[in-house]
Amino acid sequence: MYTNILTSQNDGITQITINRPLKLNALNKETIQELHAAIRVADLDAETKVIIITGSGEKAFVAGADISEFADFSVSEGGNLAAKGQELLFDFVANLSTPVIAAVNGFALGGGLELAMAAHFRIASDNAKMGLPEVSLGLIPGYGGTQRLSELVGKGRAMEMIMTAGMIDANQALQYGLVNHVTTQEELIPLAEKLAGKIIRNSSVAIGAAIKSVNAAYTDGVNGYQVEIEQFGNCFGTEDFKEGTTAFLEKRKPSFPGK
Ligand code: COA
């Protein structure tokens, strides 16, 4: 069904694997479109409670946007590339109501790190290397990297990483708070699945409301506290809220309908 990605669904988790290992899973236009389509399908699928995104092979998560595709672009084509990519993939992932975990299994550079940063959180294998090398190509990050790296690691560290075009290893990323956990390559997907398992036990409607509220803290012109109040209030109208509170009072585990 897809040319550049693999998808599988099991136990409430949809795993999406970017599968262009010979090009270190670089994001060409077709891959971005396929990722959009697969993530949309997973988000609408009632059986999918968590999405894990990773890269195929042992070397790379994603080594960036596909440089061969935009090497001869004009100013307007360049602007369009960033706008379309942000809309189809990076903002789309960041604002999804289904939680997205990036399992960074190797190089996450440029658009690759930007994709990982658009996910709701990240874990990495110990061979991972992360960076935004765009200025070494005469570019800047265009898929949200200047904004999200600053949010995640702070302005000074983001400035250093972007200006030097350097890479940091998994342990430094952990120290920076760019990734939440580091493990071996073999244990990476099992760890993502274990974290997904903890998420799946909870109300998916409440999680969607939490994602909206947390994201509001990073959206210009929006009062995050006000968004939190509205989302908190909305929870009281959900079946998940009735089930969660009833189960607690009845001293049993909840079985959330997800509505
Ligand atoms: N776009 C297009 N092709 C890419 C790519 C990218 N971002 N990253 C890697 N590739 C391709 C290489 O061109 C090469 O293809 P080929 O075998 O047909 O020549 C293949 O993937 C393997 O990469 P290679 O460079 O040979 O691997 P390496 O182990 O020597 O180096 C990297 C790995 C990640 C350091 C190096 O590939 C690299 O610097 N990539 C670009 C990173 C980047 O600048 N990303 C930001 C883009 S905006």
205-224: pLDDT as tens digits: 999 999 999 999 999 999 99
Closest residue (by CA) to atom 38 of ligand 1? 63
Q: Is the pLDDT of residue 100 over 90?
A: yes
E-only strand ranges, 30-83: 50-55, 60-62
The Cα 180–Cα 193 span in angstroms is 14
Residue whose tokens read 């100013």: 75
Q: Which residues are catalytic?
A: 114, 134
Asked if pLDDT for residue 30 goes beyond 90, the answer is: yes
* Other C-beta atoms lying within 10 Å of the C-beta of residue 46: 8
Angle in degrees, 0-180, between the axes of helices 204-216 and 239-249, rounded to the nearest 10: 110
Ligand 1 site: residues with CB under 6 angstroms?
A: 23-24, 26, 63-68, 107, 109-111, 133-134, 137
- pLDDT on residue 1: 87
Both tokens assigned to 22? 């010979």
Q: How many residues does the chain have?
A: 259
5-200 to CATH, choices 1.20.120.530, 3.40.50.740, 3.40.50.2000, 3.90.226.10: 3.90.226.10
Structure tokens at 47: 């059986």
Q: Two tokens at 31?
A: 């891959």
Domain ranges of the chain: 5-200, 204-249
Q: Which atom of ligand 1 is nearest to the CA of 142?
A: 48
pTM: predicted TM-score of the whole model, two decimal places: 0.98
Average pLDDT score, the chain:
98
